[in-house]
Chains A and B, each alone.
Chain A
């Protein structure tokens, strides 16, 4: 009996110690934190401090739940400093695990963004799958401050824009970890989507994602527009959907829109005449989404014309964007270097020091193959009678 009570006393002791020494250390009820949805980072040119604009979501109400976004800006010498300064204004501690986006201003992006990403990557609460984007407006804060229509908060609006990007494929989607991965790898430079503000008919200003910000190392060097972005995504094999518009296929005003079902790009580095050549083979499966003409492009003859023309224009677009990046931005955002690294490791060891210069001069060969598939082949265009 004595042994028994000793044992139970021991168990009780273990429990008490377990609970009192480790229990509750991180206890906080869900309503005791401010849920941050997104952050925009600017730099104050006057005192060189960071201005952080944070969007919070305030859920409230019993039966009818209301989500009210609120935006607070704060200054800090570093990112973490600014975030802690937030308590002085906000009261509650900021909770970062549900933050969706981090918007970086153009100024900071041009200066280099590695140092501000450290906190976001290091902190335990922030997620590595945050969307990163660059504001090409004057400040990043105004993107967050912009009105949006669908959601309770701009951050969620931006989150949706990225989540559904695969059906448009005109801007890249970059999570934090992907950016840092590209930044730290050899033979590839990172990119980020860019955001602008546009007016709607009701004179509201809403954020819009438009094009790509090109980085060299961690500094932004330039922009690509939407078609250039798509061509760039073709090269990077990141196209999962979207549409291709082919104007004036056979004649004036014969416009066809193709919907991409599947796209596969193979990069292959080859040595031809002692010279490096990057072969880019794009194979696209697409369906006819819209024929804005009564001309028959379904029949074999018309279809061949359509395929040929589209293949050609995609090929040109891709060649153009490669050329632009090579000549203007001099940054290997396509990952040609890492392809060579993967396929010819011994050669890469020799050329890696000079890769930046070699990239500019790198020859490329683009081949595009378009397959038209899908049930739209059976439905004839609308005929206009007399």
Chain B
């Protein structure tokens, strides 16, 4: 690949085009080759960008008839900027009277071009990359260097509320697909010089811009260095979304649980940055990753922090309950009905027995089938065009719910339990993958071993959860702690005036969050 490119480049002669070699050294490519004419350079560039008809070559002359050409990608570059800020001033400028030709680019940069960012370069790769990223290249007859003018301007989606993370109270803005806008959204929330952004490029073909974002002084450098090391070791042709990165740098790649968080909300990212976490923004996707990610973050919602803390705590507890319900109701029901009938209160036992009378399938088959059917309906609902959504609802309610019970295929209690499980799992939708996996595993264990098997499953789940780490931070951080300080943002959300410290380990570099004045203020209340 590199060889063929070199051949192409040889045809070019921007006098001294420099190519970066793989080993990182730079060396002039065509030092010995004679200076080619302006026309030949253009021809060479055209050859390099061959059969890409979206690239526009615009030939024009300056006031004193010096030949120039602008190269840009249609749609990536802003035409208005090119017309008004590049073409117009250049056509009114004379450059022939400048005796030293090497001074021409500087003269244009200083006096003619109305652009905030103009770069002088002779690196062919940089030129190509910049053109493909929406910048405009200016070539002038007789001048060695190429000017790269920032004309990036493509259509982006407007900022709107992310549909997956709605909040009744709190900001309504969400990230978009443009990394620059995303950064600005974060910057707008944290106006501190300590907020740092570090750019990386991942993907040998897509050359996706990735930005690490952290607050210096809060973030643990060890975690930052580890993250940079893992990002640098990614070697893939393309990254289309942050999910690619997530899988490459995850601590527990085989686990159904995520060790890296994601969100579409700038306020959530800002909150996590303030706790000492690091955000990873990938260009082209509105989901921003945050590390380290621990288990409780599944159960925290942005609104928890904006609403009344009592209400927020109730909601948080409900999410814990939902986690239990969605993983365990079906397995426990299954174990009770098939092994431990003595544990069901008599009236309930009788009504379950009545509804199961004469049913064709054993309870375990029923449980598994209903779990799968629910997932099918859920998946259908997610990916369906909006206007057929109601069809799925009708099928779900009528066919599965009523008809199956009326036809005595499925018992009514199982439908109720599946519905309860399904609704509960929607409360913690973030965790859906893990929930499905755990539920099915627990159902199978319960079906074969009864409550004994279910308990086995729970023990296994706990061992797994307590054994994984996210960037060195235990996944179940503080879960076993009895200190009230550690529990302030776990089961409940303590009032803000009571949360003096940042989370342990993650924000331990500067643990104090509030000054003593706030504490004194609290005492006044």
A60 and B346 CA atoms in complex are apart in Å by: 15
As a 0/1 sequence over residues 339 to 361 of chain B, the CB contacts with chain A under 8 angstroms (1 = contact) are: 10110001001111111111100
A19 and B452 CA atoms in complex are apart in Å by: 11
Check: B406 CB closer than 8 A to any chain A CB. Answer: yes
A59 touches B351 (CB 8 A): yes
Residue numbers in A under 8 Å from B346 (CB-CB): 98, 100, 156
Check: A125 CB closer than 8 A to any chain B CB. Answer: yes
Q: How far is the CB of B46 from chain A (nearest CB, A)?
A: 50
Check: B455 CB closer than 8 A to any chain A CB. Answer: no
As a 0/1 sequence over residues 121 to 165 of chain A, the CB contacts with chain B under 8 angstroms (1 = contact) are: 000010100000000000000000000000000001000000000
Task: Known A62-B406, A98-B346; judge A30-B352 contact (CB<8 A).
Answer: yes
Q: How far is the CB of A153 from chain B (nearest CB, A)?
A: 10
Q: How far is the CB of A121 from chain B (nearest CB, A)?
A: 16
As a 0/1 sequence over residues 262 to 283 of chain A, the CB contacts with chain B under 8 angstroms (1 = contact) are: 0000000000000000000000
A57 touches B350 (CB 8 A): yes
A65 touches B449 (CB 8 A): no
User: In the complex, what residue of chain B is closest to A100 when comparing beta carbons?
Assistant: B346
A66 and B355 CA atoms in complex are apart in Å by: 10
Residue numbers in B under 8 Å from A95 (CB-CB): 341
Check: B172 CB closer than 8 A to any chain A CB. Answer: no
Task: Known A30-B349, A59-B351; judge A125-B412 contact (CB<8 A).
Answer: no
Contact among A27, A57, A156 for B339, CB-based, below 8 A: A27
- How many B residues have CB within 8 A of the partner chain? 27
A29 and B408 CA atoms in complex are apart in Å by: 16
Check: A299 CB closer than 8 A to any chain B CB. Answer: no
A28 touches B338 (CB 8 A): yes
Contact among B338, B349, B359, B408 for A27, CB-based, below 8 A: B338
B448 touches A60 (CB 8 A): no
A29 touches B349 (CB 8 A): no
A38 and B162 CA atoms in complex are apart in Å by: 61
A62 touches B353 (CB 8 A): no
A23 touches B448 (CB 8 A): yes
Residue numbers in A under 8 Å from B356 (CB-CB): 29-31
B354 touches A60 (CB 8 A): yes
Q: How far is the CB of B315 from chain A (nearest CB, A)?
A: 36
Check: A33 CB closer than 8 A to any chain B CB. Answer: yes
Check: B337 CB closer than 8 A to any chain A CB. Answer: yes
User: In the complex, what residue of chain A is closest to B450 when comparing beta carbons?
Assistant: A26
Contact among B338, B354, B449, B453 for A59, CB-based, below 8 A: B354
User: In the complex, what residue of chain A is closest to B354 when comparing beta carbons?
Assistant: A59
User: In the complex, what residue of chain A is closest to B363 when comparing beta carbons?
Assistant: A29
Check: A339 CB closer than 8 A to any chain B CB. Answer: no
A24 touches B405 (CB 8 A): no
A125 touches B354 (CB 8 A): no
Determine the interface band of chain A, counting residues with CB < 8 A from chain B: 20 to 34
Check: A35 CB closer than 8 A to any chain B CB. Answer: yes
Residue numbers in B under 8 Å from A59 (CB-CB): 350-351, 353-354, 357
Check: A385 CB closer than 8 A to any chain B CB. Answer: no
Q: Which of B384-423 contact A (CB under 8 A)?
A: 405-406, 408, 412
A100 and B345 CA atoms in complex are apart in Å by: 12
Q: How far is the CB of A126 from chain B (nearest CB, A)?
A: 10
Check: A97 CB closer than 8 A to any chain B CB. Answer: yes
Check: B362 CB closer than 8 A to any chain A CB. Answer: yes
A26 and B352 CA atoms in complex are apart in Å by: 19
A98 touches B338 (CB 8 A): no
A57 and B357 CA atoms in complex are apart in Å by: 12
Residue numbers in B under 8 Å from A28 (CB-CB): 338-339
Q: How far is the CB of B450 from chain A (nearest CB, A)?
A: 7
Q: How far is the CB of A90 from chain B (nearest CB, A)?
A: 15
A35 touches B357 (CB 8 A): no
Check: A67 CB closer than 8 A to any chain B CB. Answer: yes
Contact among A22, A29, A65, A97 for B337, CB-based, below 8 A: A29
A65 touches B448 (CB 8 A): no
Check: A61 CB closer than 8 A to any chain B CB. Answer: yes
A33 and B353 CA atoms in complex are apart in Å by: 9
As a 0/1 sequence over residues 95 to 107 of chain A, the CB contacts with chain B under 8 angstroms (1 = contact) are: 1011010000000
User: In the complex, what residue of chain B is closest to A98 when comparing beta carbons?
Assistant: B346
A97 and B339 CA atoms in complex are apart in Å by: 12
A59 and B350 CA atoms in complex are apart in Å by: 6
As a 0/1 sequence over residues 15 to 44 of chain A, the CB contacts with chain B under 8 angstroms (1 = contact) are: 000110011101111110101000000000
Q: How far is the CB of A65 from chain B (nearest CB, A)?
A: 4
A308 and B59 CA atoms in complex are apart in Å by: 123
Task: Known A29-B356, A30-B356, A31-B358; judge A22-B342 contact (CB<8 A).
Answer: no
- Of B341, B354, B358, B448, which is in contact with the most chain A CB atoms at under 10 Å from its CB? B354
A26 and B449 CA atoms in complex are apart in Å by: 9
User: In the complex, what residue of chain B is closest to A159 when comparing beta carbons?
Assistant: B346
B341 touches A19 (CB 8 A): no
Contact among A33, A61, A63, A156 for B341, CB-based, below 8 A: A33
Q: Which of B403-457 contact A (CB under 8 A)?
A: 405-406, 408, 412, 448-450, 453
B351 touches A30 (CB 8 A): no
Residue numbers in B under 8 Å from A29 (CB-CB): 337-338, 356, 362-363
Residue numbers in B under 8 Å from A23 (CB-CB): 448-449, 453
A351 and B448 CA atoms in complex are apart in Å by: 58
A97 and B337 CA atoms in complex are apart in Å by: 13
Residue numbers in A under 8 Å from B406 (CB-CB): 62-63
Task: Known A29-B356, A35-B350; judge A62-B405 contact (CB<8 A).
Answer: yes
Task: Known A30-B337, A95-B341, A98-B349; judge A66-B449 contact (CB<8 A).
Answer: no
B353 touches A30 (CB 8 A): yes
Q: Which of B348-382 contact A (CB under 8 A)?
A: 349-359, 362-363
A26 and B446 CA atoms in complex are apart in Å by: 12
B349 touches A35 (CB 8 A): yes
Residue numbers in A under 8 Å from B358 (CB-CB): 31, 60
Residue numbers in B under 8 Å from A22 (CB-CB): 449
A57 and B346 CA atoms in complex are apart in Å by: 11
Contact among A60, A61, A97, A156 for B342, CB-based, below 8 A: A97
A125 and B343 CA atoms in complex are apart in Å by: 11
A164 and B341 CA atoms in complex are apart in Å by: 25
Task: Known A22-B449, A26-B339; judge A67-B350 contact (CB<8 A).
Answer: yes
Residue numbers in A under 8 Å from B448 (CB-CB): 19, 23-24
User: In the complex, what residue of chain B is closest to A26 when comparing beta carbons?
Assistant: B339
Task: Known A19-B448, A59-B354; judge A30-B338 contact (CB<8 A).
Answer: yes
As a 0/1 sequence over residues 237 to 262 of chain A, the CB contacts with chain B under 8 angstroms (1 = contact) are: 00000000000000000000000000
User: In the complex, what residue of chain B is closest to A61 when comparing beta carbons?
Assistant: B354
Q: How far is the CB of A81 from chain B (nearest CB, A)?
A: 23
A18 and B452 CA atoms in complex are apart in Å by: 11
A33 and B342 CA atoms in complex are apart in Å by: 12
A-B contact pairs, 13 of them (CB 8 A): A18-B449, A19-B448, A24-B448, A24-B449, A26-B339, A29-B362, A30-B341, A31-B358, A31-B359, A33-B341, A60-B354, A61-B354, A65-B351
What would 7 more interface pairs be, CB under 8 Å, given A29-B337, A30-B356?
A19-B449, A30-B338, A35-B349, A59-B353, A66-B354, A98-B342, A127-B342
B residues apposed to A, CB below 8 Å = 337-339, 341-342, 346, 349-359, 362-363, 405-406, 408, 412, 448-450, 453
Q: Which 5 pairs of residues, A with B, have the shortest CB-CB distance?
A: A59-B354, A97-B342, A23-B448, A65-B354, A31-B356
